[in-house]
Amino acid sequence: MALPISLIATFCNLIEIFAFKMDWLLLADIVGNVGRLTAHLFPILINIYMAMYLSDTHRLPKSATVACSLAAFFIISYQWGLISSVIPLPHSFIVALLSAFITCLIIKLINRTKILHVDNSSSVMDNSLKVLNCYVLTLGTIVVTSTFIKIAVIPIISQYQWFPVLDPLVFSDAMIYEFSRGLLWSLGINGHNLLHTYKSELYEVTVANIAAWQNNGESLHILSANFYDFFTGMGGSGNTFSLVICMLLFAKSSGYKTLAKAVFILALFNINEPLLFGLPIIFNPIMLVPFLLVPQISLIIAYFAFWAGWVAPISEVNSWLLPPLVSGYLSTGGTAGGVILQVFILVVGVAIYYPFFKVMDKRSDGIDLMRIFNRRFFINGDIDAKSKLASFIPSMQSNLQAQRDVERLNTEGEMILYYQPQVDVENSQIVGMEALLRYRTHQGTVLPPTFIQSFSQLKMMPQLDYWVLEQAIQATAPYSHHSGFLLSINVSSDTILTKGFVKYLDKLIIESALLHEQIEIEITEELLVSDEEMTAAVINQLRALGISVALDDFGTGFSSLAYLSRYDFDKIKVDRSLIQKLDTARGKELLRIVVELGKVTNAKLVVEGVETLDELQYISSLGVRYVQGFYFHKAMPIENIIALMDAEKVVS
């Protein structure tokens, strides 16, 4: 998400350098200031985006969490002295990530306490005070911890020499330097800046050696200031120009091809920050291996080529911005040997990067980078009844029609929940209700959820299901005291098989006034087909918590009957399609067989779609006790159902 900022900053840096070369000082000053300011926004945005992501993951209030995370980032940075000398802003990439992570972790732990937990049963003032107390405690904890580290830990650490003193002319030390700067970059730390003492010393030695060679004919050293720039750092640290070539030649993902084209010009001038953050290489265990290995192999190849005399030694100091091939030619005194050596090193680099990049490419094949960002970063965890979710979906390269359908939801109306009662035919009493998703236009017309297919196509069903779960549980919690109260919610297979679903649902119920026994999760045959082993585990976990599990749409799938012996269900819901065929003898017999099969499991049977008295009488004759359909009640707002249940109490 912050990649555009990195691109802007690095392009500004490049333009500034060339403006200075052309003596366009005013342009260089303006563009340079823009680039520096933009670059300093990068860690701040990283902190914000990480806090957004974690607040979604842990279902925390987004705005307050982001504000608290950003405050923590500034507090820690100023206390530890991690402020840029160019612009007085925090600049540590690692601290930006860790402060967001730690902040959200503390908020999550505090939010678990009932005293500070925000719920619908409390007043707005009470909830506001709870939020305020939560974030005061969070920042207080961070300030105390940060101060302790500053006073007690940092002085101790600073007493030790954590990095060995390197000799700029020794081959083994060169390997250590190259490995160290690559490892630091993989953590988001500018290795060149941190190890500037070594490079500065090498520069001084190089200048002195070239002068001695010109004046006295002394031998030129193999290791020089430009050795790393032109042979182990083509395209930037990690010899990433090889990776850019690899991406351009072999990437199948349109997102990676676009990224390679965007960074090609920058990599040509040995600037690779956008690639490090965009692929990404930073904090990526897959790409870490080639990122560290390629420059090591390149160093060995280049060093041996110079040592063997196959390539003329580097005889002058040039700008690190020189593109590959040009730099090899000029640095070796205008000989072709430097060019050939660079080409060989690039080819070897491509070969090393290739298998690792293919792993990345395979994971995102057919899914552009924007789609990946959308899945995790553009999902609003605080979706309200007006479906703010839709407004956070930027343009995608595929599934355009589905995207338009979802975006239109936000402009033309809002998503709401209706509830349809389940009735005991023996006494006509309401014994439960199913939450049903509906769409209400701005004109007040309530429509069925025809948009669900669009959400499914965009792989956004988990977000939609979580919204339904949260809204349904929050809306019905105040009425949990009604006897026989049961809330049934249909959840898609994509959501149920999501890691942490059961834990999340358990937390949601605990934080409400409902009991686990008052929640029922409906699943379809689609889930049973997708992953039998994991499905069985999830069903068992739900039932162990006291949450009942219902098999929905029974009688419509090819394998429904086999699943009755494979899984334990608390309820079986006979699909409405079987009721629509009761006007024929075959239809009646088919329904009778399905009902008898359902009874074998000892689970409760509910027949859906009952609309006429004849249908009800036949279903009752089969021994079915529970029904759901228009004959008794249509889907309606929760308040209407509660009014009906209260009226039943009065009558009884």
Residue-wise pLDDT for 194-207, tens only, equals 777 787 888 888 88
- Residue 60 near residue 106 (C-beta atoms within 8 A): no
Closest among 599, 625, 597, 600 to 610, alpha carbons compared:
625
Distance, in Å, from the CA atom of 257 to the CA atom of 361, rounded to the nearest integer, reads 10
Element (H, E) at 1: none
What's the whole-model pTM score? 0.52
With 90 as the cut, is the pLDDT of residue 301 above it? yes
Distance, in Å, from the CA atom of 210 to the CA atom of 214, rounded to the nearest integer, reads 6
> What does R_g of the chain's alpha carbons equal in angstroms?
32
pLDDT band at 528 (very low <50, low <70, confident <90, very high): low
- Residue 273 near residue 232 (C-beta atoms within 8 A): no
pLDDT at 353: 94
With 80 as the cut, is the pLDDT of residue 459 above it? no
pLDDT tens digit string along 35-86? 888 888 888 888 898 888 888 777 777 777 888 899 999 999 988 888 887 7
Query: What are 440's strand-pairing partners?
Result: 414, 446
What are the two backbone dihedrals, phi and then psi, of residue 101, each rounded to the nearest 5 degrees? -65, -50
Query: What are 420's strand-pairing partners?
Result: 434
Closest among 262, 276, 270 to 327, alpha carbons compared:
270
pLDDT at 480: 75
Please state the separation of Cα 359 from the chain's center in Å.
19
| DSSP label of 638 | H
In this structure, the chain runs to a length of 652
Poorest-pLDDT segment among 80-84, 142-146, 398-402, 530-534: 398-402
Task: Burial-class residue 175 by CB neighbours within 10 Å (0-12, 13-18, 19+).
Answer: middle
With 60 as the cut, is the pLDDT of residue 584 above it? yes
How confident is the prediction for the chain on average, in pLDDT?
A: 81
The three-class DSSP label of residue 553 is strand
**Highest mean pLDDT: which range of 224-228, 240-244, 436-440:** 240-244
| DSSP label of 397 | S
Element (H, E) at 283: none
Distance, in Å, from the CA atom of 367 to the CA atom of 93, rounded to the nearest integer, reads 27
Distance, in Å, from the CA atom of 147 to the CA atom of 383, rounded to the nearest integer, reads 37
Who wins on pLDDT, 33 or 532? Answer: 33
Distance, in Å, from the CA atom of 228 to the CA atom of 218, rounded to the nearest integer, reads 22
With 80 as the cut, is the pLDDT of residue 392 above it? no
